[in-house]
């Protein structure tokens, strides 16, 4: 749904990728057309390559420490800002969902509202999950003993299950709210929204590289993602049993945490899944 369409003069252009806060074309120069429900060409999507994935991982890697270091309040503000920006452009998202997947106005609006709610929900959690998850542990000795959650680091998300915008945004929000950075690989129909989603992120003070979006054939990028040693965890939003098995097998090499998206949406579970417990022993002062 790229292009200005005020006077009915639709100027089609290729939807680009979102890497490191910028909108580059794919390094490979490949693109493929996406059609509407009625069979008209809606847009051309970039078919991301192994090297685009590599660049996105490098961007997410260098953004991670800075993002995790921001205060929880600041991350909350940014997530909330993302919700605001999304709300401001709601009509575009609704129109896309109706056109691409033939949803009714009510269905599409419900999805987009769900996405906004998810962002607000995890914005709220950003400065609270740690109080819920952390603990002071009883130990026998003159020590304080705390356990606190820390982000796992760089998470890759592979999304090939039927697209639902509110689930999709909920996943992104739950992963990044604790200080992880994210590389997302997804295909049409969701990827037709790539530019718009990227623009929402770009205008929300979200630091460059925290979320990177790649459109393309999930098949082609699966093994590169599962084998990449810099990726610490994979969020697997896939109903394809073979792919799930393959990824788990390849992920063994650096013991990536592979998390299938089988939880309830609004819960602490996705935050828990992408944090690690760190326990600190501290001597008690006399």
Partner 1 sequence: MIHDRFVTGHGGRKIPIPYQPVDQVGAEERAAFFTKRSIKKESKLDALYAIISMIDLTTLEGADTPGRVRQMCAKAKFPVPSGIDHDFSKHPKARAVPSVAAVCVYPSMVPHAAKALQGTAIHIASVATAFPAGQLPLEIKLADVRAAVSYGADEIDMVINRGAFLSGDYQTVFDEIIQIKEACGDAHLKVILETGELLTYDRVQFASHLAMLAGADFIKTSTGKVTPAATLPVTLVMLNAIKDYYQSTGVRVGMKPAGGIRDSKMAIQYLCMVNEVLGPEWLTPDLFRFGASSLLNDVLKQIYKQVTGRYYYDKIFSID
Which residues would be at the binding site for partner 1 (CB under 8 A)? 54, 57-58, 61, 224, 227-230, 253
E strand or H helix at 101, and its extent? Answer: helix 90-101
Smallest separation, CB 57 to partner 1 (Å): 7
Smallest separation, CB 176 to partner 1 (Å): 21
Select 54 or 70, whichever has its Cβ closest to partner 1. 54
Select 181 or 195, whichever has its Cβ closest to partner 1. 181
Select 48 or 169, whichever has its Cβ closest to partner 1. 48
How far is residue 269 from each of residues 31, 62, 129, 143, 174, measured CA to CA in Å?
37, 26, 10, 30, 9
CA pair distance 181, 231, nearest whole angstrom: 10
CA pair distance 266, 260, nearest whole angstrom: 16
Smallest separation, CB 44 to partner 1 (Å): 24
Smallest separation, CB 16 to partner 1 (Å): 22
3-state class (DSSP) for residue 249: helix
Select 167 or 212, whichever has its Cβ closest to partner 1. 212
31-35 and 41-46 strand pairing = antiparallel
Ramachandran angles phi, psi of 281, nearest 5°: -100, 130
Select 27 or 87, whichever has its Cβ closest to partner 1. 27
Select 42 or 56, whichever has its Cβ closest to partner 1. 56
Smallest separation, CB 137 to partner 1 (Å): 31
Rounded to 5°, the CA angle 56-203-85 comes to 115
Smallest separation, CB 43 to partner 1 (Å): 28
Residue written as tokens 């660049």? 55
Say if residues 89 and 71 touch (Cβ distance below 8 Å): no
Select 20 or 174, whichever has its Cβ closest to partner 1. 20
Smallest separation, CB 224 to partner 1 (Å): 8
CA pair distance 74, 70, nearest whole angstrom: 6
């Amino acid at each position: 749904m790229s292009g200005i369409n005020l006077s009915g003069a639709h100027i089609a252009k290729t939807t680009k990728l979102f890497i490191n806060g910028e909108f580059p074309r794919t390094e490979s120069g490949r693109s493929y057309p996406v059609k509407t429900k009625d069979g008209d060409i809606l847009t051309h999507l970039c078919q991301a390559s192994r090297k685009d994935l590599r660049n996105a991982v490098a961007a997410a890697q260098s953004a991670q420490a800075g993002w995790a270091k921001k205060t929880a309040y600041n991350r909350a503000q940014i997530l909330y800002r993302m919700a605001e920006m999304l709300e401001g452009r709601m009509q575009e998202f609704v129109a896309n969902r109706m056109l691409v997947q033939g949803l009714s106005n009510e269905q599409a609006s419900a999805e987009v509202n769900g996405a906004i709610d998810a962002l607000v929900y995890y914005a709220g959690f950003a400065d609270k999950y740690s109080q819920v998850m952390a603990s002071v542990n009883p130990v026998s000795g003159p020590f304080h003993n705390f356990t606190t959650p820390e982000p796992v680091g760089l998470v890759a998300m592979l999304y090939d299950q039927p697209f639902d915008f509110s689930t999709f945004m909920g996943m992104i929000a739950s992963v990044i709210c604790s200080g992880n950075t994210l590389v997302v690989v997804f295909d049409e129909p969701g990827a037709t929204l790539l530019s718009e989603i990227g623009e929402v992120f770009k205008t929300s003070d979200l630091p460059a590289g925290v979320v990177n979006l790649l459109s393309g054939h999930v098949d082609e990028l699966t093994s590169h993602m599962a084998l990449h040693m810099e990726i610490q965890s994979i969020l697997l939003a896939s109903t394809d049993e073979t792919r799930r098995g393959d990824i788990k097998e390849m992920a063994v090499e650096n013991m990536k945490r592979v998390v299938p998206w089988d939880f309830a949406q609004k819960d602490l579970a996705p935050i828990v899944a992408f944090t690690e417990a760190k326990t600190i022993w501290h001597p008690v002062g006399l």
